[in-house]
């Protein structure tokens, strides 16, 4: 295998191999689900939704190796911003909700088993879960549902981009499959209907689809344009207040203003940049932040389309983080931290590939060694979390 290439198999595999491919992500989600239920004292449905976010993020990192994917998902779940979504009063879960979730899961499994269409199964599962969440548990502008949509959208988008824009020494480029770009459109629609801020990721998605050299129907772009307009309208009506829009961001920051609205010149103030950088470092430590930058540099070189698309998604959410002054800012810019973790995981993967070139390290299992080093991060985050809870 040549330097910088991804070594694991494509997720479009026979059912048994597909299950093995998904198993590390399911394991990460299961571990985190137990932690959310026990230590986080999170209601069942909310814990399940948050665990599904971790499954999606871990699956996005699955190409970097099973151990890296599992540990990366767990690390994200234990970060301060993600953990802040746990807790809450115990809630009764109606039997109809449990039954509907079982039915959705069963349908998804059958679609994968007999039709060999995992992305179609994913779309069905996401749509049913969203309907259940809205009807029984959720409310409009649900932060947790936004995190769920983001995780699975990034998974489908990155798989599509790795497939359509491979390195020259990998498999031949293939256009994005209809079930992939239809799944992307479905999740975009659900996400923007739930919270107009989901439109922040749309420029990155549009760029990725355009750079994939895949013939996309005109009606598809028309729907994306409508979703863009709907999202912008929602941001204007929900996140902009006439009295705060023109306020000085510096004075607002100095007075520790907390209001769920945008202040236009927030991006021009250095203190806002420092505050956002500090928030990013706080998630995965300063070493993790440095590794994320390294991972971005390596990804931009070996997979430039994937790197550029993730940079655009990161930039749009970072811009919102600079101008938004609400208390829930860390959760609203969760896609930023998800992307940061993907870059961090790719840096770990790249480091392992670099070590494997040396004759000494060819005698040992480099992946296992790298996994051991990477496990320090979730262990540290867990210890930090427990000390904060005690």
d(CA 59, CA 305): 19
The residue whose two tokens read 């996140």 is 239
Residue 148 in tokens: 């769920």
pLDDT attached to residue 103 = 53
Rounded to the nearest angstrom, the gap between the alpha carbon of residue 84 and the centroid of all alpha carbons in its chain is 16
pLDDT attached to residue 111 = 53
- Which ranges of the chain have pLDDT less than 70? 1-16, 88-141, 359-364
pLDDT attached to residue 117 = 57
Reference 4, options 303, 333, 378, 358; nearest CA is 303
| 4 in a structural domain | no
| 155 in a structural domain | yes
HEC string of 285-346 equals HHHHHHHHHHHHHHHHHHCHHHHHHHHHHHHHHHHHHHHECCCCHHHHCHHHHHHHHHHHHH
Structural domain total, the chain: 1
Strand partners, 324: 262
Reference 79, options 385, 387, 388; nearest CA is 385
pLDDT in tens, 46-78: 888 889 899 999 999 999 999 999 999 999 999
Reference 128, options 157, 90, 99; nearest CA is 99
pLDDT attached to residue 9 = 46
Hey, CA dihedral for 352, 345, 86, 328, is it positive or negative? positive
| 150 in a structural domain | yes
| 2 in a structural domain | no
pLDDT attached to residue 177 = 86
| 236 in a structural domain | yes
| 281 in a structural domain | yes
| 58 in a structural domain | yes
| 6 in a structural domain | no
pLDDT attached to residue 183 = 84
Cα-based distances in Å from 95 to 107, 133, 281, 348, 373 = 18, 14, 42, 43, 43
Model pTM above 0.75: yes
Domain extent for 141: 15-389
pLDDT attached to residue 124 = 59
């Amino acid at each position: 295998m040549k330097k910088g290439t991804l070594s694991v198999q494509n997720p479009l595999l026979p059912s048994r191999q597909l299950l093995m491919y998904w198993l590390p992500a399911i394991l990460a989600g299961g571990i985190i689900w137990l932690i959310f239920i026990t230590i986080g004292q999170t209601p069942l449905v909310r814990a399940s939704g948050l665990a599904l976010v971790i499954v999606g993020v871990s699956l996005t990192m699955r190409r970097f190796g099973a151990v890296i994917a599992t540990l990366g998902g767990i690390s994200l779940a234990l970060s301060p911003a993600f953990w802040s979504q746990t807790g809450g009063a115990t809630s009764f879960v109606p039997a109809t909700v449990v039954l509907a979730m079982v039915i959705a899961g069963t349908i998804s499994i059958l679609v994968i088993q007999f039709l060999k269409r995992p992305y179609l199964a994913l779309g069905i599962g996401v749509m049913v879960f969203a309907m259940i969440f809205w009807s029984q548990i959720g409310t409009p502008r649900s932060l947790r549902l936004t995190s769920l949509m983001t995780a699975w959208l990034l998974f489908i988008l990155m798989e599509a981009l790795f497939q359509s824009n491979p390195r020259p020494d990998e498999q031949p480029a293939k256009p994005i499959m209809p079930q992939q770009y239809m799944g992307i459109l479905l999740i975009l629609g659900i996400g923007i209907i739930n919270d107009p801020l989901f439109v922040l990721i749309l420029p990155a998605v549009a760029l990725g689809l355009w750079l994939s050299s895949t013939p996309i129907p005109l009606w598809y772009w028309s729907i994306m344009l409508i979703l863009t307009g709907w999202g912008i309208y929602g941001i204007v009506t929900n996140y902009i207040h006439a009295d705060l829009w023109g306020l000085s961001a510096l004075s607002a920051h100095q007075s520790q203003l907390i209001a769920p609205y945008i202040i236009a010149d927030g991006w021009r103030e250095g203190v806002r940049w420092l505050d956002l950088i500090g928030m990013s470092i706080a998630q995965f430590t300063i070493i993790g932040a440095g590794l994320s930058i390294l991972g971005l540099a390596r990804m931009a070189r070996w997979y430039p389309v994937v790197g550029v698309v993730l940079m655009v998604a990161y930039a749009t959410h970072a811009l919102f983080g600079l101008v938004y002054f609400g208390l829930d800012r860390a959760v609203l810019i969760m896609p930023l931290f998800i992307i940061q973790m993907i870059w961090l995981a790719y840096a770990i993967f790249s480091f392992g590939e670099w070590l494997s070139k040396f004759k000494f390290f060819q005698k040992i299992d480099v992946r296992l060694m790298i996994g051991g080093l990477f496990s320090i991060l979730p262990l540290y985050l867990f210890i930090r979390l427990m000390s904060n809870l005690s």
